[in-house]
Structure 1
Amino acid sequence: MNILVTGSTGTIGSLVVRGLAAQGASVRALTRDPAKASFPEGVIAVKGDMTDVPSMRAALQDVDTLFLLNAVVADEVTQAIGTLSLAREAGIQRVVYLSVLNSDAYTDVPHFTGKYTVERMIEQFDLPVTVLRPSYFMQNDAALKDGLLQGRYGMPIGNVGVAMVDVRDIAEIAVAALLRRARSATPLPREVIEITGPDVLTGDALATIWSGVLGKPVTPAGNDLDAWETAMAGFMPSWSAYDLRLMLARFHVDGMLGKSNAVELLTGLLGHPPRRYRDLAGELAKAWEAA
């Protein structure tokens, strides 16, 4: 059983590598520069780049299970479809793919509809894949530290509500899905798992949570997407800022909500209730204070 993890140095991928290693799995971690990567003992760093076909063909040799995660980049679809096609070429019949909640609905949001394109390929060819559809990551809000410490919650997520999910829950479910497929004597049927958090959060609700954990008033920034996009374009490529702006615009109209029985289903998968935003906020606040 050899499991290749792409995106192995990122937020989710690194947790998946650690989780698999802790379970005694044979793990190969894809990275552009193995010399700079740091992985748990026993994990093999494999040099590869999803834009470099020869390197991916080599990385997929002797692999029977694949965790396919690729970053939100301009050529995300090319990377994902190419890698999935190479996995088919290599005869890999055990795959877990990280998509996104509402991938099928947010057709005007590039990175959502891009992931759904990959899902369409999986469905068309009836590939033996677990598709994970997580909601917006709670840990994204760690980047709001400076504003929060100044009394402002800066993400304009709107008033409909987002069932944010802790990345640790995503990784736990990914590890379980990978091991279930890797240990199965035969390829398992295709499945889709939606992963959300237990609370529907708005900008006002989040400001209230942060007021409590920081012990001082925190106000929401409001929902001015023009101003937000302009500010973000100073820190990231303009296409990326616009992509995220389109996502937030859909949050304002549709939110990002789980099914009515989501908590029950996820508790069964995790073996514990999904982690709550308030608990993560408390963890972050303590870490910021200690620093």
Structure 2
Amino acid sequence: MNKSRKTLLVVGATGSIGRHVVDGALLKGYRVRALVRHPQRAGLPEAVSMIVGDLTRPETLVNAVQGVDAIVFTHGTHGSIIQAEQVDYGGVLNILSLLPDSAVQLVLMTAIGVTDRKGAHDWKRRAERLVRATGSPYTIVRPGWFDCNKPDQRRLVFLQGDARQSGTPSDGVIARADIAHVLLSCLEYASASGKTFELVAETGARQNDLEELFCNLKADQPYSMDGVCDVANMPQSGEPLEVNIALDAFERKQVR
């Protein structure tokens, strides 16, 4: 599809990553729609269509998802388990539940170390599982520590298995602008679809063509709840009842 006719919804558009995604998407010719809570304080470019909504209130999200071709989720909370449940997971659930079919392309940003079972991360991981359960084309990106890179650390590195879990920048660093670049690239490379990976940067220049990086990734197993190389340390049988009900609902929708 011609990008000039493609409508992209950015969730978390006024955040530190979302603003980069918005700017990059406009440059690429997307028709950009931003979900915002306070439009008067958003400070987004005039070309952006702002939709007022709250991720924790699904009735406010209907207009945001109407007619979208793709969604990039850049929202996130920091540390609070309650907020992670309501926003990191609940926001994704509320958006996905409103989509009429599985034709919408999804890109979800979570975090490196998301499989470490440290409370709030479990809810980010559950959001990943929702995305996989929809049957929609998707990519899940787990960036390292934002803007902790040195100026010459711009060479993108894609990892799988979520093995770096110290909870410090030693797990990997990445510039915010480079995260946005990768999130948008996930929409444009067919080789990115159905894959989950960690994103960090090493010394060197940022690559313009990401085809090889995406092609070298393993795809998630069909109908699997987790990334292809993730450790199996969060069995679905031990999950909260409401989480399994939501997953089952998306899986049933696929069968239809």
| CA-CA distance at 1:269 after TM superposition | 2.2
Secondary structure in structure 1 of the residue aligned to 2:186: helix
| CA-CA distance at 1:158 after TM superposition | 8.1
User: Where does residue 53 of structure 1 map in the other structure?
Assistant: 58
User: Is the 1:60–1:90 Cα contact (8 Å) retained in structure 2?
Assistant: no
Give structure 1 regions of 4+ aligned residues with deviation exceeding 4 angstroms.
157-160, 263-268
Secondary structure in structure 1 of the residue aligned to 2:61: helix
| CA-CA distance at 1:36 after TM superposition | 2.3
Distance 1:162 1:2, change over 3 A: same
| CA-CA distance at 1:90 after TM superposition | 5.6
Asked whether 1:77 is paired with 2:89, we answer yes
Asked whether 1:9 is paired with 2:14, we answer yes
Return the match for 1:269 from 207, 210, 234.
210
User: Is the 1:103–1:115 Cα contact (8 Å) retained in structure 2?
Assistant: yes
Distance 1:116 1:265, change over 3 A: farther
Secondary structure in structure 2 of the residue aligned to 1:197: strand
Asked whether 1:44 is paired with 2:49, we answer yes
For residues 88-123 of structure 1, the C-alpha deviation after alignment (integer angstroms, 9 at most, x for no partner) is x3655211111112322x11x223221111222233
Secondary structure in structure 2 of the residue aligned to 1:113: helix
Distance 1:43 1:125, change over 3 A: closer
User: Where does residue 32 of structure 2 map in the other structure?
Assistant: 27
User: Where does residue 163 of structure 1 map in the other structure?
Assistant: 172
The TM-score normalised by the length of structure 2 is 0.62
Unaligned runs of 5+ in 1: 142-156, 200-262, 272-291
| Amino-acid identity (%) | 27
The amino acid across from 1:176 in the alignment is S
User: Is the 1:131–1:192 Cα contact (8 Å) retained in structure 2?
Assistant: yes
For residues 39-94 of structure 1, the C-alpha deviation after alignment (integer angstroms, 9 at most, x for no partner) is 2231111111111111111211121111123221342322222222223x365521
| CA-CA distance at 1:21 after TM superposition | 0.7
Distance 1:160 1:14, change over 3 A: closer
Task: Please provide the CA RMSD for this pair.
Answer: 3.3
Distance (Å, rounded) in 1 between the aligned partners of 2:102 and 2:196: 21
The amino acid across from 1:135 in the alignment is G
The amino acid across from 1:192 in the alignment is T
User: Is the 2:73–2:108 Cα contact (8 Å) retained in structure 1?
Assistant: yes
Asked whether 1:98 is paired with 2:109, we answer yes
Asked whether 1:115 is paired with 2:119, we answer no
For residues 162-214 of structure 1, the C-alpha deviation after alignment (integer angstroms, 9 at most, x for no partner) is 32111111011112223x17xx8xxx841223211216xxxxxxxxxxxxxxx
Distance (Å, rounded) in 1 between the aligned partners of 2:74 and 2:97: 14
Give the number of the structure whose alpha-carbon radius of gyration is greater.
1
Distance 1:129 1:159, change over 3 A: closer
User: Is the 1:122–1:129 Cα contact (8 Å) retained in structure 2?
Assistant: yes
